[in-house]
Chains A and B, each alone.
Chain A
Amino acid sequence: MSAISALGSETADPASGSHPPDDRIGVRSRRRYLLYALRRVIQAIFVIILAYVITFFVISVLGSNPIQTTLSSPQAGLDPSSIKKLEAYYGVNGSILHQLWLGLSRFLRGQLGTSLQYHLPVSKLILTALPYTLKLGGMALLISLLFACLLAYGSQRFPLAAGRSFIRSIPSFFLSVPNFVIGLLLIELFSFHFHTFDVLNPDNLVGTICAAFALAIPISAPLSEVLIANLDTEGAQEYALVARSRGLTEAKLFLRHLVKPSSVPAITMFAIIIGELMGGALITEEVFGRTGVGTVMYQAVTTGDAPVLQAVVALAAAVFVVANLIADLVAPLVDPRIELVGPRAAGGLVRGLGRGFQAGNLLGSR
C-alpha cells in the first residue's frame, strides 16, 4: 500500500525528481510532518467529541432517560434531597440537548460525574480500578506481540513446509476460540489441577498471567495475520531477490531487510489491539473475578449506573483514538514513504484500521 502511494507521489510531484540541498529537504519534510500531525490531532479531538455524542445518544436517548429511572427506583436508596441534587447536576429535567451539553462540556474538562450507585465521583471509581486493568492489559499486549512475532517468524523460517502451513493456520484457530473459554480452561488447569492460584484471590502473578493469556490469544490472531501477510509481500519484492543474489542468508535477510517494512502496517494495528483489549478486559475480568475497569462497567450495567457507563465507554473511545493518533504519527517516522498530504495520504483518523483490517482479515493472501 505504502509502496504504491510512494510511487504515486513520485510521478505526481516533479519536485522530488530534482535534488535540492539536503537541509532543505529536512526543513520541508519536517514542516510537512508538523502540519500533518496538527491535522491529525484536531481530527482526533473531533472524533472523541463525536464518539461521546454517539455514546450519549445510545445510553440516554435509546435507553430513555436511565438516570431518572435509576434515581427514582427504590433500590438506589437515596433520600429526596440527594436525588434533587443529582437531578440538578445531570439536568435530567431539561431537554436532552441540554443534558448532552452538560455532560460533554464536563467530559472535556475531565469531570466524569457522580456514580448513582456508589455516590462517588466516577473518575475515582475508574482510577481505583485502572491499575489492575493496566497491569492485565499491558501483560496481554506483551504476550500477544510475542505470540504474533513467533508465529510470523515460524511462518517464514520453520524448516518444514507442512509446519509452515500449520503455523499459518494457527491465527485462524485463535480467532475461533472465545476468550472466556480460554479463561475457563486456564482456570481449570492452573487453579484446580496445579493449584498455582486461588480463584477467590486471582491477583497473584500466575493468576494475572493466565488472565493475560486469555485476553492475548484472540488479539494475537489479527496481528500475526498482518505480520505474516506483510512478510510474504516484502519477501517477494525485488530488493529481497537482490539481497539473496548478493549472498545474504535467509536469516540475515529477514532481520536486516524484512522486519522493519513488515512491521509498519502492524503499527497501525496497535490501535485496534488497544480497542480489543478494552472489550476483552470486560469478559476476562469477569471470568477471573478480578477487579478492574471491566468490572466497574459490569457492575454499572447490572445496577443501571448510566454516568459510569457513559464515562467508561467514552474514555475507551478516547484511549482508542489516542492510540490510533500515536500509530498514525509514528508510522511516517518509521516508513518515510508514507504520504502525508494529498488525496492518497494516510487518510482520516482510524483509516489505518481499514488498512490493517484489510491486510489482516480480508486480503491476507495478497
Chain B
Amino acid sequence: MSFAAVPQPAGPRLLSRRRLRVLALPPTVLLSFVIVAIVLLWALFPSLFTSHSPVTAVPTQKFLPISSAHWFGTDYLGRDNFTRVIYGTRSSVLNAFVAVGIGLLVGGVFGLLAGFLGGITDALIGRGVDVLLAIPGFLLAVVLVVSLGFNTINVAIATGITMTAIFARIMRAETLKIRQSVFVESSYLQGGSPLFVLFRHILPNAYRSVLALAVLQLGNAIIIIAAIAFLGYGSPPPASDWGLLISNGANYQQIAPWLIYCPAAVVVITVLSINRISRWLRNTN
C-alpha cells in the first residue's frame, strides 16, 4: 500500500513480484478478462462478428429456434437474435462505462474535496451524500430518465448520477485514511504543497480501492441500464439494448423462449465476469 515509505532498493523486486502475480492469474479471472474483451469487441466492432443485419426483417424466417445458422434463434420479424444482441452491446455496455465515468468523476471529486479539505466542506458534502443516498437509487434513476427523456444515453446519465454518492463516500474514506498516514506528513514536512501531496500521494494510493468499486459498479450499471430498458424507458425499437431484447422476448415466452434466455445469459455472464474481476482487484489490494 505505502510505496512511498518503501526504501528505494526494494522497488524493482516489488515490481517483479507484481509481474509474477499477473502470470499466475487465477483461471476464472483470466476467463473473465477474455469474456469482457469479447464483449468490448462486440461493442466496438459489431459488424466483425456477424453477417446479418440487426434491423432488416426476413419474413420467411420467423421464430427459428437455436441452430448453427442462428446461434440465438430469430425473432418475430425473422431477425437474427445473435446479431441483435451484438448490435445492442454498444448501447448496453458502453453506456454502463458512461454511467460509471460520471459517478467516478463527480463522486470522486466531491469525495476527494470532502476528505482532503475537511471541516465545513466535508460536512456539507456529507449531508448532500446522505440525502442522495436516501432516495432509492433505482427510483431516482427512473425519475431522472423521465425528466431527461427516454433514451439510453439519458439512462446512463441518470445511473451515473445515482452512483455519485457511493463514489464520493468511498473516495472520502480513502482520502481521510491516506491523509493521516506518516508518509503524507513527511511529504508536508519536506515542503510538499497540498496539490503535490494530492497528486503524488493521495490519488495514487486511493485509486486501487476506487478502481475495485468502479469495476463492481460497472456490472451494477449494466444491470440497472438493462432494467430501465426492460421497463421501456431506454431507446425505443429498433434499438436492441439487452434489456429491451429481453422485454420484447417476454411477449413470446411460450413460443420462443430463446428470445429471453439468450440475451439474459449474455447479461448474466458479462456481469458475472466483471464482478469476478472486481473481486480479484479487491483481494489483491
Contact = CB atoms under 8 A, between A and B. Distances in A.
B138 A350 contact: no
Nearest to B284: A365
Given A63-B147, A181-B268, A282-B231, A320 B130 contact: no
A83 interface: no
Nearest to A354: B169
A282 B143 CA distance: 12
Given A178-B227, A282-B142, A51 B135 contact: yes
A117 B77 CA distance: 35
B216 interface: yes
Interface in A275-316: 275-276, 278-280, 282-283, 286-287, 297-298, 301, 304, 309, 312-313, 316
B78 interface: no
Interface in B241-263: 243, 246-247, 250, 253-254, 257, 260-261
A166 interface: no
A181 B257 CA distance: 12
Given A283-B231, A358-B170, A361-B216, A349 B130 contact: yes
A176 B35 CA distance: 15
Label chain B's interface by main secondary structure: helix
A304 B146 CA distance: 8
Interface in B205-229: 209, 212-213, 216, 219-220, 223, 226-227
B22 interface: no
B232 to A, nearest CB: 8
Given A63-B147, A184-B246, A279 B134 contact: no
A54 B268 contact: no
A353 B134 CA distance: 10
A278 B139 contact: yes
Contacts of B142: 282, 297, 301
A313 B254 contact: no
B139 A172 contact: no
A343 to B, nearest CB: 11
A348 interface: yes
Label chain A's interface by main secondary structure: helix
Bin chain B's interface residue count.
35 or more
B272 interface: yes
Given A59-B147, A283-B230, A361 B135 contact: no
B66 interface: no
Interface centre among A192, A279, A282, A287 (most CB of B within 10 A): A279
A312 B139 contact: yes
A173 interface: yes
B132 A54 contact: yes
Contact of B136 (A276, A309, A363): A276
B271 interface: yes
A4 interface: no
A362 B213 contact: yes
Nearest to A53: B131
Nearest to A192: B254
B214 to A, nearest CB: 11
A152 B226 CA distance: 29
A276 B280 CA distance: 26
Interface in A146-182: 172-173, 175-181
B254 A54 contact: no
B134 A180 contact: no
B247 to A, nearest CB: 8
Contacts of B173: 354, 358
A169 B190 CA distance: 47
Contact of A58 (B147, B271, B275): B147
Interface of A: 47-48, 50-51, 54-55, 58-59, 62-63, 66, 172-173, 175-181, 184-185, 187-188, 192, 275-276, 278-280, 282-283, 286-287, 297-298, 301, 304, 309, 312-313, 316-317, 320-321, 324, 348-351, 353-354, 357-358, 361-365
10 contacts: A58-B143, A58-B144, A58-B147, A173-B272, A178-B267, A179-B227, A184-B253, A192-B254, A275-B137, A279-B136
Instruction: Enumerate the 5 nearest inter-chain pairs by beta-carbon distance, A residue then B residue, closest first.
Output: A279-B138, A63-B147, A62-B147, A176-B271, A275-B136
